[in-house]
Amino acid sequence: MSSNAVNELADELSKLKAVDILPQNVERWEETKAFLLQVVDVLLGYIKEENDRSSKILDFHHPEDMKKLIDLTIPEHPMPLAELVDSCKKVLKLGVKTGHPRFFNQISCGLDLVSMAGEWLTATANTNMFTYEISPVYILMEKEVMRKMMDLIGWPADVGDCIFTPGGAIANTYAMNAARHFFWPRAKPLGMTSVPTLCCFTSEESHYSIKGAAALLGIGVDNCFSIESDSVGRMVPEALEKKIIEAKKEGLHPFFVCATGGTTVYGAFDPLNQVADICERHKIWFHVDAAWGGGLLLSSEHRYKLSGIERAYSVTWNPHKLLGALLQCSACFIRQDGLLFQCNQMSADYLFQQDKPYDVSYDTGDKAIQCGRHNDIFKFWLMWRSKGMEGYRAQINRLMELCAYFTHRIKSTAGFEMVVEKPEFLNICFWYVPPSLRSLDKKEKMLRLEKIAPKIKAKMMERGTTMVGYQPDKQRPNFFRMIISNQAITEDDLDFLIDEIIDIAKDL
């Protein structure tokens, strides 16, 4: 476009309001297109910058300062389209580039551009997943993908059901609710006062949403027992069985065990087969929270870590984690077909009419605890097609190699210490001991270390060059939790993090 035309357009968009373009004013297609393309231009600029390693991940501002940098108020009068485009620019500039190859802060990292393109389409299609009537293709797509995932879990072809959920916490809640319904269907009509006091079990390293689900479902956090884990973060099966027996003796009714396939902090894998054996012996629902680790099932080299998952009654698996789908994309798998419906069905007449002209078994809404449900499948399906089975396998294996590389670097660089010597997965937990602390005795060092990670992290955020999370754990002082899940990460990025930490901490 000539610079003249660009100026004219900018001029026009600064006069037009939303009501002047589509959908209200169908005469103004060209202006509508111009507005959307301007937004796309801003987004493309952002993507390019995010992938430029010399760009900053963030400009950190405290909340009170941030409020001065951007006007967030809702105006009395409509704002012109050009100002909306400016708002987009500004918001992106003040945000955190979570797709930057040196952002290692969360388990969900990276920005897969095919998945992103898929999410753009999802927004444009703006449909709801409750009925085949309005989401025919996406419903079939879900069925196809969930079957593929259940095959990977290892369930027989005629077994299993699934629901895509807004995040893993809700997926875990679905699983616990299904388990309750399986054993105590009368809880649905009559509530928990109609059943004995239930209890459930999960490792102390498991995700907090298991306790959250116990609270929400009226089971009670105190009836969700934390089972000891070993030094690398895996649940100790003997401790589990002991606690189950104790609970029974106390008159409680154990009904649900959660084993974790890839814990949040250490990336540990609970011994699934041993836990499954215990669940079988005691007739307890065996749930596997593989929100984070589930993706390993796509690697023939590494899927053995989840051996035993095929015995699960239910599985949580978030494609928005290891597989890199955009937020959100989570699924809860239930082995027993029909249970999700029985458990959640409320049979609303206005949505799930039985006299529709098509096979209404394709209407999925009545197995959900949501009514409207966002389409989380398309972005995942499109991305999976872009990689194929072999692409994912290669991607996951590559991440595991990078993890080995980083572990090696940590072990061989002065001042760095592993928290868990041999990481099982893509979490590498480590301390950095600044020179001034290295000669202290162990007790004193550990005491002082508590404050080191937060200090380094704070300076890191000020610099804005990289980001990594930290936390304490029981007897261990604050340590960093490195996550290697962004497919864009290279060895250089890992070296950069190490150098940056050394540099930041040199004066501590």
Q: Should residue 1 be labelled a site residue for its own copies when binding is judged by CB under 8 A?
A: no
CB of 73 to its own copies, least distance (A): 7
In the list 192, 236, 418, 502, the residue contacting its own copies (rule: CB under 8 A) is 192
Among residues 486, 494, 497, 500, which is the contact residue for its own copies, using CB under 8 A? 486
- Asked if 220 is part of the footprint of its own copies (rule: CB under 8 A), the reply reads yes
Quick check: 338 binds its own copies (CB under 8 A)?
A: no
User: 247: buried, middle or exposed (CB in 10 Å: 19+, 13-18, 0-12)?
Assistant: buried
Write the single-letter amino acid at 336: Q
Among residues 157, 158, 189, 475, the one that binds its own copies under rule CB under 8 A? 189
How far is residue 447's CA from residue 399's CA, in Å, rounded to a whole number? Answer: 33
Distance CA 4, CA 2 (A): 5
211 binds its own copies per the rule CB under 8 A = yes
Write out the binding residues for its own copies, residues 243-272 only, by CB under 8 A.
264-265
**317 is a contact residue toward its own copies (CB under 8 A):** no
Scan residues 6-45 and list those touching its own copies (CB under 8 A): 17-19, 21-24, 26, 29, 32-33, 35-37, 39-40, 42-44
Contacting its own copies within 439-468 (CB under 8 A) = 451, 454, 457-458, 461
Of 59-88, which residues contact its own copies (CB under 8 A)?
60-63, 66-67, 70, 72-79, 81, 83-84, 87-88
Closest distance of CB 238 from its own copies, Å: 26
Cβ at position 159, least distance to its own copies in Å: 19
* Residue 373 near residue 129 (C-beta atoms within 8 A): yes
Q: Is 507 in the site for its own copies (CB under 8 A)?
A: no
Q: Nearest approach, Cβ of 42 to its own copies (angstroms)?
A: 8
Give the integer Cα–Cα distance in Å for 40 and 51.
17
Q: By CB under 8 A, tell whether 133 contacts its own copies.
A: yes
Taking phi first (over 0 means left), then psi (-120 to 50 degrees means alpha), and beta for anything else, what does residue 423 get?
A: beta
Cis peptide before 23, with omega less than 30 degrees from 0? yes
End-to-end CA separation in angstroms for the chain: 54
Kindly state whether residue 284 participates in binding its own copies, applying the rule CB under 8 A.
no
Nearer to its own copies, 215 or 508 (CB): 215
For residue 128, the tally of other CB atoms under 10 A from its CB is 17
Sign of the alpha-carbon dihedral angle for 19, 25, 26, 32: negative
Picking from 468, 469, 470, 466, the residue whose alpha carbon sits closest to that of residue 493 is: 466
With binding defined as CB under 8 A, does residue 187 bind its own copies?
yes
Q: Is 469 helix (H, G, I), strand (E, B) or coil?
A: strand
- Which is nearest to 288 in space by CA: 305, 300, 266? 305
Minimum separation from the CB atom of position 402 to its own copies (A): 13
Residue selected from 5, 8, 15, 191 as contacting its own copies according to rule CB under 8 A: 191
